[in-house]
């Protein structure tokens, strides 16, 4: 039986070479650069993405196994149907490529007052309040 695979857009500590990539790494089957429409905010040691028309956020599309998706859900403290998730996992399309999959996002009201990462890139972050 073929293993089930999922595409997940990552834009912060799950990026290749970043602090939490080790959570996904054993389950990654492919990596592709990408961008989604939205704005990136700093929550201190990690970022938060708010989807929208304004701006683009750089990241990577990870193709992971079902175990990888579960490991990332645990890292992001996400549980389907729970009211108090820090992040929500939703379906998104790449801004420029015919790629789609899951992404962990912040709700806009949670990002109010957080510094904006104006570059749209966690790796090239400079915060503006």
Quick one: average pLDDT of 23-40?
98
Is 76 part of the annotated catalytic residue set?
Answer: yes
Tell me what pLDDT residue 2 has.
75
Does the pLDDT value for residue 30 go beyond 60?
A: yes
Which position among 3, 18, 74, 76 bears the catalytic label? 76
Give all domains of the chain, ordered by start, each with its CATH number: 5-128 (3.10.490.10)
CA-to-CA distance for 103 and 7, rounded, in angstroms? 9
Does the pLDDT value for residue 111 go beyond 80?
A: yes
CA-to-CA distance for 29 and 31, rounded, in angstroms? 7
Give the total residue count for the chain: 129
What is the per-residue pLDDT across 42-95, written as a single tens digit (0 to 9) for each? Answer: 999 999 999 997 899 999 999 999 999 999 999 999 999 898 999 999 999 999
């Amino acid at each position: 039986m073929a293993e089930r695979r999922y595409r997940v857009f990552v834009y912060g500590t799950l990026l290749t070479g970043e602090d939490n990539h080790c959570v996904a790494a054993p389950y990654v089957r492919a990596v592709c650069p990408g961008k989604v429409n939205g704005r990136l905010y700093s929550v201190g040691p990690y970022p938060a993405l708010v989807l929208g028309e304004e701006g683009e956020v750089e990241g990577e599309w990870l193709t992971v196994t079902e175990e990888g998706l579960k490991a990332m859900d645990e890292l992001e403290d996400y549980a389907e149907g729970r009211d108090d998730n820090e992040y929500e996992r939703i379906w998104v399309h790449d801004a420029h490529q015919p790629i789609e999959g899951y992404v962990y996002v912040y709700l806009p009201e949670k990002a109010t007052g957080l510094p904006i990462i104006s570059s749209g890139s966690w790796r090239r972050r400079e915060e503006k309040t």
